[in-house]
Amino acid sequence: MKFKKEYIVLPVIIVVLLAYIVFQNKNKTNYELPHLRNIERKDISKIKIKKGSEVIDVEKKGANWVIMPKEYPADKEKIENLIDKASKVKLTALASESKKYEVYKLDEENRIEVELYQSDKPVRKIFIGKPVSSSRHTFIRLDDDYRVYHAEGNLRSAFNKDVDDLRNKKIWEINEEITKVTLIKDKKKLILLKKPTENKDKKEEKKTKEKEKISYKWQTEDGKDVIEGQITEIINMLKDFTCDRFIEDKKKDEFRNPIYKVILSGANSYSISFFDEKDGQYEAISSQSEYPFLVSEWRAKRIMKDFDNILKKKK
């Protein structure tokens, strides 16, 4: 009986072991992911992004990046971030070998092509499809590989940009002290000056200057008091100024007769002129930019203050 039991148990054990081995093999990754060589950002001289018929060429000029062919200054931080994503792309799994690219938005019509260049030589090309359902990965193809892979991160969102998205929208950055503000509205002008406050006791004036910093206040050119918070807000809104978008279909010299103009003066002079409002944005030009641009309505209105709201009311 003992031997009979062993003969029954042994085949059962063998079947279980075989089933385990088969199950393990099915769950094993039986492919190797391509090894992508490391590319240093400093070695990249150009990035090309193609989506449908739109092609964006961004080239390095000295320490900066420009968008060709019009040589628009590009946002350096954004461009370098895109180069890092393309040069350090990390494949995590094989998704498909079927060549049914439209399923993954990797067909010619829907994919985003990204190419990195070192001098004039292409060193990496990837095709970006749709995000995986979790949005933590993206379906991509390599230039010389028909297979579809998962890549780490939402690359679709990162590279789905147009020219304006990549332009440097900083109009100016003012680091100097502003001592004069000129406001022009409806052909009326209000000039505001930052003046030292007068010490009523003339005998103590010299001592005050020696011992303390001179205090200042804003007044009109002819000495009228103003609400200083209003002037401070205008300066703060304009000190580090970026636009919302650039205007592509007009040139700067086509803009005449602004509805409001601000001139900030210190060691240098900075002017911005506002024109018509359309769809919640004001058209504008600046002394520091070659290109006309748009400013959101809420920002523009905090700059274009009514003169009556600046001048102090007499009690």
Q: What is the pLDDT of residue 13?
A: 59
What is the Cα–Cα distance from 135 to 249, expressed in whole angstroms? 36
Query: CB of 74 within 8 A of CB of 56?
Result: no
User: Count of CB atoms within 10 A of residue 31's CB?
Assistant: 9
Q: What is the pLDDT of residue 44?
A: 98
Give all strands of the β-sheet with 72-73 in edge-to-edge order: 72-73, 64-68, 54-61, 46-51, 112-118, 121-131, 137-142, 148-152, 91-96
- What CATH number was assigned to the domain covering residues 170-309? 2.60.40
What is the Cα–Cα distance from 293 to 235, expressed in whole angstroms? 19
Q: What is the pLDDT of residue 313?
A: 83
Enumerate residue ranges in the chain where pLDDT < 50.
2-3, 20-28, 211
Residue 221: which of 184, 248, 195, 187 has the closest Cα?
Answer: 195
What is the Cα–Cα distance from 294 to 284, expressed in whole angstroms? 6
Token look-up 């058209």 returns: 283
Question: Does residue 11 have a cis bond before it (omega within 30 degrees)?
Answer: no
**In this prediction, what percent of the chain has a pLDDT beyond 70?**
85
Q: What is the pLDDT of residue 206?
A: 57
Residues 6+ apart with CB under 8 A from 77: none
Which residues does residue 180 pair with via DSSP β-bridges, in sequence order? 193, 265
The dihedral built from the CA positions of residue 290, 76, 62 and 163, taken in this order, carries a sign that is: negative
Report domain extents, the chain.
Answer: 41-166, 170-309
Reported as a single tens digit per residue, the pLDDT across 227-237 is 999 999 999 99
Q: What is the pLDDT of residue 21?
A: 47
Which residues does residue 56 pair with via DSSP β-bridges, in sequence order? 49
Q: What is the pLDDT of residue 80?
A: 98
Q: What is the pLDDT of residue 200?
A: 55
What is the Cα–Cα distance from 219 to 304, expressed in whole angstroms? 18
Global pTM reads: 0.81
Q: What is the pLDDT of residue 24?
A: 47
Q: What is the pLDDT of residue 38?
A: 87
Cα 143 vs. chain centroid, distance in angstroms? 28
